[in-house]
Structure 1
Amino acid sequence: MTEEAKPGDETEARRGAGLERRSLLSLGIAGAAAASLATANGAKAQATGDSKLYAIKDRGRLIVGTGSTNPPWHFQDANGDLAGMDIDMARLLAKGLFDDPEAVEFVIQGSDARIPSLITDKVDIVVQWMTVTPGRAQQVEFTIPYYREGVGLMLLADSQYADFAALRAAGSTITVGGMQNVFLEDWIRKALPEARIDAYDSPDATIQALNARRVDATLSDQSAIRWMMQQAPGRFADSGYGWLPNSYASAVKPGDPTWLNWVNTVYKEAMMGVDFDLFAASYKKWFGVDLEVPKVGFPGEFA
């Protein structure tokens, strides 16, 4: 200790050194945090830039996986062109991307190819009456649903049974037809536990049985019933009861929130915003349903 040093200076010096070390440590932690945040933001920006949304914009067209044999969702019209609700939804996306509903390339595929075509990047999105299930949601990311499907009963318009209540009251005296599958009996029994059941090998054969009055009603998807009523006005009627609800949505490859969020934005604003008129026109065309105009003012989802 020098002559100038005073008692206690050594303690103060040690304390000052400790404070300095803590300050430097704090600066180091803050710097590391800032660097980490910058890295995360950079990665986020990079991920956003790498989104399929921007790749599609650069390409100049949207590639959509869909089908061609299931009206009113996707089928070939009298001119051989693809038509249906799914096709309209795909064209809505193309309109949002390029202001051109025709800027879309359709890849026709079977239902079993929907997930593989996404995972292998063969298509940008699948718009193909795809039912949302927990199992599928582990392999793809679903958009918000654009239709709520279910099964129902189609009658002849001049049937002796006016509606579902009349069918149910008839008990075991009625016969319901449906396309053969392992679930047919269970599905019908959920609504009509006493009805007799006839199974057919195709939807056309089921309709023929109804037209020939070999069955009193047929089990069909609600969308198919609405489509048939559109195609043959005055011939068929909906019993007025639907069950076994499920949701139809589009699907995208997992891991691209930018692309998924953009598609969801388009769908939501079609159902209740700027493109509602287009969406409502599709519903009217394919299902014969007049959608109620969303309330103006407070957003409908919070009403």
Structure 2
Amino acid sequence: MKLRKVTVFATTALVLSLTATACGGDNKDSGSSSSGGGKIKVGIKYDQPGLGLKEPNGSFSGFDVDVATYVAKQLGYKPSQIEFVETKSADRENALARGDVKFIAATYSITDERKQKVDFAGPYLLAHQDLLVKANSDISKATDLNGKKLCSVTGSTSAQNIHDTIAPKANLREYSGYSECIAGLQSGAVDAVTTDDSILAGFAAQDKYKGQFKLAGLKLSNENYGIGVKKGDTATVNKINSALEKMVSDGSWKKAVEKNFGPANYKNEPAPKIGVIVK
């Protein structure tokens, strides 16, 4: 009789344990911090001040970083659970395909060619190709670059487009990175730097350059920045789009723009509407 009581007790405990486990499994969400100690890997740039920059102390700053942090929070992750991974332009599609990162926020312009390989949420920023010049420069339009030294990074099409279509007498200078172009602008080695206005504003907003440069305010192209997601992951795209809409509606988007680009007097476009691509 005594043995039977122990058996019944043990069986009841086992059933209760299995029931609790089953309930816990039903509530588990791999995309939420409620799953316990989980991490989310997010692709960003490490070398673009104002957008995606790894600071000397190992922290990260920039508009893309702020957007990615906000989005990850809406997906259920705390800042401490976000692992930022450097994703250079040439490797962004592969990083998503391999599953190295969950999503990428890294001045990632939405194009028809890229949409063949990845899915995009957004856009979350509309940028334009522009010129950065010294604050006292008389360069105000692209045709003023004839006879001037124009800098962009090696392999970029920005400077070549200006040379081919607008200012054929511009003297092109190609450096290995935008930091070198900006240093050349400061020293007078070049007269202007060209790439996306958001990138130029990020550099100009650095403390060491405040007040030295200005954006020409040209709109030589439309760059719709989106958040890249692995092809076919519609659920994540929808969640990120909802997060971006909330970021705009609660004022966080505007605050992030002002914080990261404000010192450069960047005249940003209004927050774009989700799914609307400006050609």
TM-score of the two chains, using structure 2 as the length reference: 0.73
- Structure 1's 250 and 193: CA in aligned 2 closer, same or farther, altered over 3 A? same
> Is 2:123 the counterpart of 1:123?
no
Please give the alpha-carbon distance, in whole angstroms, between the structure 1 residues aligned to 2:168 and 2:97.
45
Tell me which residue corresponds to 1:224. 199
Choose the corresponding residue for 1:96, options 74, 77, 98: 74
Please give the alpha-carbon distance, in whole angstroms, between the structure 2 residues aligned to 1:162 and 1:252.
39
Tell me which residue corresponds to 2:183. 208
CA contact (8 A) 2:149 2:173 kept: no
Please give the alpha-carbon distance, in whole angstroms, between the structure 2 residues aligned to 1:139 and 1:68.
23
- What is the CA distance between 1:175 and its match in structure 2? 3.3
Q: Which structure has the highest helix share of the two?
A: 1
Tell me which residue corresponds to 1:172. 146
Tell me which residue corresponds to 2:211. 234
- What is the CA distance between 1:182 and its match in structure 2? 6.4
Please give the alpha-carbon distance, in whole angstroms, between the structure 2 residues aligned to 1:116 and 1:141.
13
Please give the alpha-carbon distance, in whole angstroms, between the structure 2 residues aligned to 1:133 and 1:292.
19
Please give the alpha-carbon distance, in whole angstroms, between the structure 1 residues aligned to 2:63 and 2:237.
20
Tell me which amino acid in the other structure corresponds to 2:258.
K
Tell me which residue corresponds to 2:12. none
Tell me which residue corresponds to 1:163. 140
Please give the alpha-carbon distance, in whole angstroms, between the structure 2 residues aligned to 1:163 and 1:111.
30
Tell me which residue corresponds to 1:55. 30
- Structure 1's 137 and 292: CA in aligned 2 closer, same or farther, altered over 3 A? closer
- What is the CA distance between 1:263 and its match in structure 2? 0.8
Tell me which residue corresponds to 2:160. 186
CA contact (8 A) 2:131 2:193 kept: yes
Note the residue ranges of structure 2 that are not aligned, 5 or more in a row. 1-25
Give a deviation string over 1:221-261, Cα, whole Å, max 9, x none.
21122123212221001112121222111111233332221
Tell me which residue corresponds to 2:18. none
SS in 1 for 2:30: helix
Choose the corresponding residue for 2:225, options 248, 261, 264: 248
SS in 2 for 1:132: coil
Please give the alpha-carbon distance, in whole angstroms, between the structure 1 residues aligned to 2:217 and 2:46.
28
CA contact (8 A) 1:283 1:290 kept: no
> Bigger CA drift: 259-268 or 122-131?
122-131
SS in 1 for 2:199: helix
Choose the corresponding residue for 1:198, options 172, 180, 190: 172
Query: Which of structures 1 and 2 has the larger relative contact order (alpha carbons within 8 angstroms, sep 6+)?
Result: 2
Choose the corresponding residue for 1:281, options 255, 258, 264: 255
- What is the CA distance between 1:95 and its match in structure 2? 2.0
- What is the CA distance between 1:141 and its match in structure 2? 1.0
Tell me which residue corresponds to 1:269. 246
Aligned Cα RMSD in Å? 2.9
Larger Rg computed on CA atoms: 1
Fraction of identical pairs, as percent: 24
- What is the CA distance between 1:155 and its match in structure 2? 1.2
Give a deviation string over 1:173-230, Cα, whole Å, max 9, x none.
4332333336355322367424421313232332233223343322232112212321
